[in-house]
Amino acid sequence: MGATGKKHAKSKAVTKASAAATEGTPYGDREDVMRMADDIAQRRNLDPAWVRATLSKARMVPSVVRAITPPAVGTPKNWALYRSRFVEPIRIRAGVKFWLANQETLARAEAQTGVPASIIVGIIGVETIYGQQLGNYRVIDALTTLSFDFPDAHPRKAARAAYFLTELEAYLSLTQRTGTDPMALRGSYAGAMGWPQFMPSSWAKYGIDFDADSRVDLFHSQADVIGSVANYFQAFKWQRGMPTHYPVQFDMARLDQAALMAPDIVPTFSPPTMQDKGVVLDAAGQAHAGLLALIELQNGAEPPTYVAGTENFYVITRYNWSSYYAMAVIDLGQAVAQAVQAQTGMPK
């Protein structure tokens, strides 16, 4: 957001970092940072003295650098393990409480955007356990660190550092426009904020005032959080009533897995084309009107799990570029919906 440069493996590293979140070298001593402060002020029409003063108070946080550094290559992915971290009793109970407290708002967001309440609830649960884990890094420190001290070991250092610089600029513009103290907000090691963990540019583009109090507050207004998540997906072309995925089986005699996997998670194949390449779809999948992607979820040493992802599955990955993330959101949302139905008798 969400939001993308985002974030997901952020939970454990973030929660352990509160004590050290503001420690490190201040950026006011860096000439390159002060020169960039002037450039940002000019591009964003901000007061140069204010930008300089703000970045002068930001600090380099070594744990942010460690957190953004990719893990060692060769670590096998494990969908079953990944899923178990999110579709578990604590999040489901918290999700039921959130859903019941916000039934009318969730229904209004779904009616207006077509985004199911279960998907909205799944996102917020995966991101922050419904506001329980918002992150402990000062956002100004995280974004400044990733803009000016992005780790050399990262294979895409230049592009990622440039991305975080644009987010730093967006954060400065956002806090200046809203009269918010830029030193006060805390979030993930990547600078994502609030219950939905929006990056600053996503907050500015997709955050909406859903409780009609004339401000967008993704830290304290659950209505704004719900409306903004739904608005994000609507902006990325969520299609009302479309499933996110279909089950698949394989006709091994015809299976052309290399061709099917080549587009990754981008929907590319019509149902007839997918079946010609050896995928056996159920009746609903065969009747799908759009394009599909073969989604592979590896399970460590066990056989992978496969589904046919729709355009709406792809939309969820616009929040976080990961098929594992998208399936965790879907499965958590469904688990919460089922628990709500069991508790209240209301339809899913």
For the annotated catalytic residues, the residue numbers are 127
Structure tokens given for 111: 């009616």
Q: How far is CA 2 from CA 176, 201, 295, 316, in A?
A: 22, 10, 21, 9
Expressed in percent and rounded to 5, the helix, strand and coil fractions of the chain are: 55, 10, 35
Phi-psi region of 186 (alpha: psi -120 to 50; beta: other; left: phi over 0): beta
6 touches 320 (CB < 8 A): yes
Q: How far is CA 190 from the centre of its chain?
A: 11
Classified as helix, coil or strand, 94 is helix
Structure tokens given for 342: 């069991």
d(CA 323, CA 114): 21
272 touches 281 (CB < 8 A): no
